[in-house]
């Protein structure tokens, strides 16, 4: 498999606190890579650097020949980001929010129209999408959040805690949607602190604690290596803490 993203000693420091320390690993093309770790471990900071929202303090990451320090514009045209918070414009309708993201990615009008209608149709969101997002429920906002990330049909998709705050049913529906995306050959980077999510969806998992990569591999290989029944036990074996306890 070809390497899609390569992290080279990627670090981020905030006012003398090292949030991310020398991360070096790669993400393969077409794989679903899970970044697992407790709250505050440095997952979101890593993703924000990979998306160009934060400049690294040292080290870098490359997308093929493109470097996040110098080629952000080109990198941004290849990625779709679904942030943790429902980042939508309240006075626009759901449909307008999706279309705006298409326009900002420089898509042709007809493409925007086709893709928007297709996504809304598939998600059964057609009716609600014409209303202003101000009155949307949390679940609707999360769904819209994801569609806004996908309108540009990106090669690489970042999903930052996509199911946080969802009930069990909505979470399973989202997992199935993510699994679908994987079958389309997309490279997906998923950050989560839910063990089950990382374990069932990811091809490979990078476990981060206190900004450091403490384990890397497929869920099965990690469980085998640490003789653990799940990834939670893997984390417990390495750190002596549970993921839910936090950093």
Q: Is 211 in the site for another protein (CB under 8 A)?
A: no
Q: Is 217 in the site for another protein (CB under 8 A)?
A: no
To the nearest whole angstrom, how small is the minimum distance from the Cβ of residue 73 to another protein?
5
What is the C-alpha to C-alpha distance for residues 20 and 9, in angstroms, rounded to an integer? Answer: 9
To the nearest whole angstrom, how small is the minimum distance from the Cβ of residue 169 to another protein?
25
Instruction: Please report the beta strands in the chain, taking only residues with DSSP state E, as ranges in sequence order.
Output: 3-14, 17-28, 32-36, 58-63, 66-67, 79-82, 156-160, 187-192, 204-209, 212-217
Q: Is 89 in the site for another protein (CB under 8 A)?
A: yes
Q: Is 85 in the site for another protein (CB under 8 A)?
A: yes
Helices 138-150 and 168-183, axial angle in degrees (round to 10): 10
Q: Using CB under 8 A, which of 3, 104, 167, 180 touches another protein?
A: 104
What is the C-alpha to C-alpha distance for residues 59 and 10, in angstroms, rounded to an integer? Answer: 4
Specify the DSSP element, H or E, that contains 97: helix 94-104
Q: Is 106 in the site for another protein (CB under 8 A)?
A: yes
Q: Which stretch binds another protein (CB under 8 A): 60-68, 71-79, 206-214, 224-232?
A: 71-79
**Cβ 242 vs Cβ 232: under 8 Å:** yes
Binding footprint of another protein on the chain (CB under 8 A): 48, 51-54, 73-74, 76-77, 79, 81, 83-92, 96, 100-101, 103-106, 132, 148, 152
């Amino acid at each position: 498999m070809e390497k899609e993203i390569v992290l080279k000693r990627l670090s981020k420091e905030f006012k003398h606190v090292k949030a991310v320390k020398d991360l070096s690993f790669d993400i393969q093309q077409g794989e679903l890579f899970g970044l697992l770790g407790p709250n505050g471990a440095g997952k979101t900071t890593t993703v924000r650097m990979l998306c160009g929202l934060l400049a690294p303090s040292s080290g870098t990451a490359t997308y093929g020949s493109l470097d996040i320090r110098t080629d952000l514009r080109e990198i941004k045209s290849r990625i779709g980001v679904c942030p943790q918070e429902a980042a939508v414009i309240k006075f626009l309708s759901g449909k307008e929010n999706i279309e705006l993201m298409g326009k900002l990615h420089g898509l042709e009008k007809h493409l925007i129209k086709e893709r928007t209608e297709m996504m809304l149709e598939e998600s059964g969101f057609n009716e609600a999408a014409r209303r202003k997002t101000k009155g949307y429920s949390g679940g609707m906002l999360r769904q819209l959040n994801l569609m806004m990330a996908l309108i540009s049909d990106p090669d690489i998709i970042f999903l930052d805690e996509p199911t946080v705050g969802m009930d069990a049913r909505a979470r399973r529906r989202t997992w199935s949607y993510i699994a679908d995306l994987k079958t389309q050959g997309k490279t997906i980077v998923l950050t989560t602190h839910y063990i089950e999510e990382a374990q069932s969806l990811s091809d490979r998992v990078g476990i981060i604690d206190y900004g450091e990569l403490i384990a890397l591999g497929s869920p099965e290989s990690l469980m085998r290596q640490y003789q653990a029944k799940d990834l939670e036990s893997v984390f417990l074996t390495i750190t002596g803490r549970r993921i839910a306890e936090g950093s």
